[in-house]
Structure formats: C-alpha cells, structure tokens
Structure 1
C-alpha cells in the first residue's frame, strides 16, 4: 500500500532505522538536567528495587519498572500500561497490549530476548476511541520512535502519559531462540508451554517448561552469552541508543562486580539501576518512593561504567562500527556526530583499528553467507 507524503515524513522523523540523532551531547541540555557524555541526560541516578517482594523476585533485576508500572495504575497516574508478555500461543514469542490489571503487568516482568512489537498495540488504542492515559514500557528504539512520532504530531501523544524503558543490547531473532531451545534439548517450540529468558531471581535462569511436565534450564550467561547475543539484529549493532535516552525513567541491571570490576552474574537479591531522565520522570520517581513502592540509594554516575561494561563498550565502538558499515556499502541511520566522537574518546588508536578490522571481517562473513543463500 502506498503511503502518503505525510506518512513518509513521519517515518523519516520517527524510525530509528533512519534517525539516530536525538542522543545527548554533554553540556547541551536544559537547565536542571545533567548531561553525561556516556550515559546521557539525567535528573537522578540511583540503584533500587520494588518493595513488593514478589515483583522484585520475578523482575529481571530489582523489579523497578514492574513496580513503577503497578504503582502508576494504583496511584491513578494512568489508566493503563502497555506491557509485553510472552505469547501463550508461541511460548518463545511475545505479544503486547495495554492493561490495568496488576497480574498482567506482573506477567510482563523480566527481560525477553526475542522479537517484540509493542507499538503495534497502540493501534488498538486508537481503534477503541478510549481517551484514558497510558504508560508505555518499551525498548529504547520503541520509546525513541514514539517520542519522535509524538513530536511530529502523531495524535497518539494525547494518550501517552509516561515513557519507561530499559538498557538494551539488541534484539535476538526467532532463529536464535530456536537454537537456544535446541541447546536445551528441545527441537520443537510447540513442546514449550511456558518460557522465561530471565527473572525469578537475579539474574535468573532461562527456563523452558514442557508439555510432558519436564523443564529445561540454563544460566543467563549460557543463554545470552553463548547463543542469543550472536543472533542480534544487524541494525542493533549500530544503534546509538541502547540506554533509553528518550524515556522518562530507564532501568537496567545494577550488576555487582568482581575484583577487576567485571559483573559476576551470581545470584543475589535483585538490584536495578534507575535513571530519571526528564522532570516528569523525577517527579514520578519521587512520588513512588514517597508512597513506598520503590526503595532507592544514590549512585555516582561513573559507577555505571563498571556495572554496564557491555553497554559502555558498545557505545565506545559505535563510531568505528558505523564507519565499517559504510565502507561495506550498508545504509545506516543519521547520527549525532558530536555524540559519537564523545563516546570513543577513551579508545586508543590501536583499539580503534582492531575494532574496525573485526567489524569488517564480520560483515564480510555475513555477506558471503547471504550470497550462498
């Protein structure tokens, strides 16, 4: 179906595959906010967790986003929350929808390392003609797309009250999840009645419950580190915003480190990294804390460098990866060149050359595989 010029303009403005410009450059933010060259604009940085023990246990880290989402409903700040849950009809897939039910929000707790399309659910809200306020939980690319669409005049903006996100290292494909199941000894996804990538502990095991009553599990390191990270979409590897810079509040794993500062990934009580990025996000975090829904402790922003080594390395390497993609003739989004330069400032020339060569080799291998069908 042919799109109108107005639709084309909206896609150009909003699509993260075309627009990667809206990331922070240190020192260019509004009064009252602090800009960090690596971790973006913020009003508060903290660690914390949901004070509901069940939410904290089921969430991927401390259950901060799930706790905030349930509090938004209970406090009357919004009428519904757009959440993504696993799909009962395809256990390693997802479905998204807006809900006011605390149990459904809880069912959406935990990271899902598989394809998702939460913004599709917004079309259902349009069709309903409901004017109630909605909070949206989505990946950084989903939130950035929605923020840009609203700024460009999309009428859904009249409904969306709060944008919540999380740190993201990319979305693995369905092929990757099928490989994960095979590694667990499950050949057919139809055998799986319930699946979880993370949660029920921190970091929590990957678990597949089977129709015969059996269950297969592996660690987070085995599922993400060994298999799924190799199946992340190519565009995710050059995404400028894996840290939710367009969200009101963003959460992540506040990993504990070993003696060298690298995350240990050993099971512990869940702890979330929480960043309030906007005045609204700060207001909501303050209110949720006052109401006892969230408990927090202050955090110096440089401590995130140790908690999130994967994210910091991705951002440091981004400019070089983009250059490699362009050398190989790949289309890439438009970027904020000043931000890219800031990310890589701590990389030596030797490290930059090594990253460039490694990226080119990977792209050449992918091209050869594609040419062989």
Structure 2
C-alpha cells in the first residue's frame, strides 16, 4: 500500500500536499472537512514513494526537533528550550502602510515576499490566498506579482495544502521562496534533505495554533448569520487592521462581521484537526524566518486583542533568515526593535501551554489507541520540565475528555 494511502487511512494526514505535488497536485476535502491527496498520490513510483516516506509529517521521526536544530548551534545563534533557535528576536512591521494594514499583524511576511520579488532575489513566492470559487477555502500558488502577494495577505484559518503547489515549481526553474505553516515547512525541509531538487532557498513561516476544518468555517458563517458558502462573495478571517475583523461579503450586497476573539475563540478553535493538538512545532523551528503576533498584554500579562497598529514578532532561525532580515531592515522594508526572548512568554502564552502539555497530550492519544507520528522523547520531557505534576495530570485528563467526546464525531474533527 502506498505511503499516502496508509497515512490517510490512519488519520495522520494533515493535508500539507507534498505527496500530491509528486502526482500532479490534486487535493480534495475529506468527510471530516480537511484536505487530503487525490488518487494520483496513491500510485506514485518508487522514487517518489521514497521521498514521501522521508518527508511526510505523519511518519517523521524526532518530530519535535526539526532538521536545522539537530546540528550544533552556530556562532551568533541561541537555542532556547521553549522557543527554539534564533539569531535575532525582534518586534517588527512593514514600513509600507498598506502592507502593514493588510497583514495579519505587522505585515512582515507580506513585505518580505513583495521585496524578494521586487529586488530580484527570487523568481516567485509560494503564497496561500482565498479561493475565488469557494471563498471560505484556500488556494496556494507561486506568484511573481507583488500586487497579488499583497492581496493574499492575512491569516487563513481554513484547510490549506501549500506544498501541492510544488508541482508547478518543479516545472518553473527558481529560485523561489515559500511561505507556509510550520508543519509544511518542516516537511519541505525533510524533502530537500532527502533529495528533492526544488530550488527554494528561503522558507518562511508563522506561529500556528492549528488548522480548523471546512465544517468549522461553515459553522462560523452560521454564527455570523452569513448563510452558506454559496451565499458568500468574499471572505476574510483577519487583516485590514490588527487583529482585524472576520468579514463576509454576501451576494445580496450585505456584510457580516465579527471580532477575531469571537471567530477564533468561540468557533474555529473547536474544529481543529486532532493532530494539531499534538503538533510538535507550532512556532516554525524549521523555517529560515518566522513571524507571529506580538500581542500587547493586560495588567496580568495576558494578550489583549483590541485593535491597534500591526506589530509582528520576528525570529530568524538560520543564517539565511538572518541575512534576509538584516538586509530588509537596511533597505527600509521593515522597521524593527530587538526583543528579549523571554518577552515571547508573555506575548504567546498559548504556544507556551501547548509545548508544556505536549507530552501529556501525546500520552493521552496513545492511551486511547490513536496512531501518532514518532516524537523526540528527550524534547518532550524538556518541554514539561517546569510544569508541576498537578498541571501535567490536568492536561492528560483534559485531553482524554476531549478524545472521548471526539469518538462521537469521528477522527480528525477536533479533539
């Protein structure tokens, strides 16, 4: 049986699209509302099968430590137990006001993508935008047009398969840059190490809290009283401000909106793929450069989600990412200010909690008999080192409760 078919049948497909890219790029929604490869990925030749076996996130060993971090820490970089490797840590934003406003936070990734094209550093950038034919869905493609890249700015809390678009990159000599989720970037990093000849010298990512299903986005439309997907002309989860409204423009000329806290906090986070609950890397450790929300905190340090001028958290993970950051600041593309890495603890408490609870969540999944990828046991133990026993037991019990409830809905629908 093919690797892709085995992974899909085991519930371990996160929908990155890498296997599909080797068979033409076809993806489709599963019954659970997540993207999975089409039948072409189940009939790959031996060489392509070997690449999938080396790269697929459903099989990857030592998932907690992406490939770049298995090497000794290079000069100028620091390895942090919770936040991984970094050469620079900063708050940053696009100096172009339109880019800063359009982006999910400070527009950093959009600004860098446009500059990479305009400066001739890459031929195209692989980005994910909304699908004009299905506005609550996504479409990934490489683009050489800075205007198209700007139009694609903002977070998409929906199934996406950016690596499926690698099928077109193989037909178009590079160099190219890729912007994708941490799991996609880690998959691509493994694929390159296994011999894929793609010319992608820059891999950019962002902090990710998980992928909601298509069913979750349909539920969000109902919550917004926006009808069904066929009633929607244009949709946007975030951006056009920080964090920006969730906005549905309808065929009847009306508009429905809700806040980020309402859309993500009340609806979408309840529909995450189950594997996102045991993701070893929501912070883009395999990327060259990663961006996130540099949330301002309240008196207790908890993030505020009130509208403000966009501000991104930025970490450079590799020498290539550091060079890109340095050159972009010098060119006036970004404005940045150095940040102590411990400040991220306050800006991103959700990511801290996910890392500290990861070992207990993995244990709960295994207790319930779910198939899982392999993990780095030493890293799991290190993440929970400062988590009290009471907190570990709470995390284990809470995950068990969610998994039991999930049995009534089916695997993949959000634990």
* TM-score interval, smaller chain: over 0.9
Local SS of the residue matching 2:127: strand
| Number of residue pairs matched by the alignment | 368
What residue ranges of structure 2 are gaps of 5+ in the alignment?
1-41
Aligned twin of 2:155: 111
Is structure 2 residue 206 aligned with structure 1 residue 166? Answer: yes
Question: In 2, are the aligned partners of 1:191 and 1:210 still within 8 Å (CA)?
Answer: yes
Is structure 2 residue 390 aligned with structure 1 residue 350? Answer: yes
Root-mean-square deviation (CA), in Å?
1.7
Is structure 2 residue 304 aligned with structure 1 residue 260? Answer: no
Of 250, 273, 298, which residue of structure 2 is paired with 1:210?
250
Aligned twin of 2:50: 9
Local SS of the residue matching 2:384: helix
Q: Distance in 2 between matches of 1:191 and 1:4?
A: 42
The two structures have a TM-score, normalised by structure 2, of 0.86
- CA displacement at 1:173 relative to structure 2: 0.2
- CA displacement at 1:144 relative to structure 2: 0.6
Aligned twin of 1:100: 144
- CA displacement at 1:348 relative to structure 2: 0.5
- CA displacement at 1:5 relative to structure 2: 4.3
Question: In 1, are the aligned partners of 2:95 and 2:334 still within 8 Å (CA)?
Answer: yes
Question: In 2, are the aligned partners of 1:20 and 1:240 still within 8 Å (CA)?
Answer: no
Aligned twin of 1:276: 316
The CA deviation string for residues 110-162 of structure 1, in whole angstroms up to 9 with x for no partner, is 00000011111110122x3x212100000001111111000000122xx2121
Q: Distance in 1 between matches of 2:206 and 2:190?
A: 18
The CA deviation string for residues 44-93 of structure 1, in whole angstroms up to 9 with x for no partner, is 00001000000000100000000011111111110111111101100000
Aligned twin of 2:273: 233
Q: How does 1:1-373 map to 2 (within 5 A)?
A: 1-19=42-60, 21-24=62-65, 28-126=72-170, 128=171, 130-156=172-198, 159-370=199-410
Question: In 1, are the aligned partners of 2:64 and 2:380 still within 8 Å (CA)?
Answer: no
With 343-352 and 2-11 compared, the bigger mean Cα shift is at 2-11
Local SS of the residue matching 1:10: helix
Distance of aligned partners of 1:77 and 1:256 in 2 relative to their CA distance in 1, 3 Å threshold: same
The CA deviation string for residues 243-277 of structure 1, in whole angstroms up to 9 with x for no partner, is 00010000000000000000010110000000010
Q: Distance in 2 between matches of 1:335 and 1:62?
A: 33
Distance of aligned partners of 1:26 and 1:258 in 2 relative to their CA distance in 1, 3 Å threshold: farther
The two structures have a TM-score, normalised by structure 1, of 0.95
What residue ranges of structure 1 are gaps of 5+ in the alignment?
none
With 7-16 and 163-172 compared, the bigger mean Cα shift is at 7-16
